[in-house]
Amino acid sequence: MTAGMIWAVIAAGLGGAVFGAVYMSLLWAGASGLSAGHGAARFVLLAVARGLLVVGALGGAIALGAGAIELAAAVVGFVVVRVVAVRAAGAGEGTRRPWR
């Protein structure tokens, strides 16, 4: 691996983490709105936004020439943010969460 490839993998991982943060924020906003009684329309709208975000991010990465290694690094960055978000959501509560 050359230095340029290493930087591309690092950038892809960071990009995946940023994508994960935006995705989890949209998911949190939708779920909290649903549980607060704002209705399903807001949840569905944010679900569509998450879907468009996924398609746009994947399309953008491929358009920029991302290969399998870069896409895998982006997935790792996303998974790291997801694990942190799930742990933060369950912090301080002793209830069992079946979605984990």
Residue with tokens 């969460």: 97
Is 80 exceeded by the pLDDT of residue 66? yes
pLDDT in tens, 19-63: 999 999 999 999 888 888 888 889 999 999 999 999 999 999 999
State the pLDDT at residue 89: 81
Query: Would you place residue 71 in the very low, low, confident or very high pLDDT band (cuts 50, 70, 90)?
Result: very high
Q: Residue 84 and residue 97: Cα distance in Å, rounded?
A: 15
Q: Residue 66 and residue 45: Cα distance in Å, rounded?
A: 29
Query: Would you place residue 67 in the very low, low, confident or very high pLDDT band (cuts 50, 70, 90)?
Result: very high
Which long-range contacts link 75-79 to residues 24+ away (Cβ below 8 Å)? Answer: 75/16, 76/13, 76/16, 77/12, 77/13, 77/14, 77/15, 77/16, 77/17, 77/18, 77/19, 77/20, 78/16, 78/17, 78/19, 78/20, 78/23, 79/20
The residue ranges of every structural domain in the chain are 23-84
Residue with tokens 């998974």: 79
Query: Would you place residue 95 in the very low, low, confident or very high pLDDT band (cuts 50, 70, 90)?
Result: low
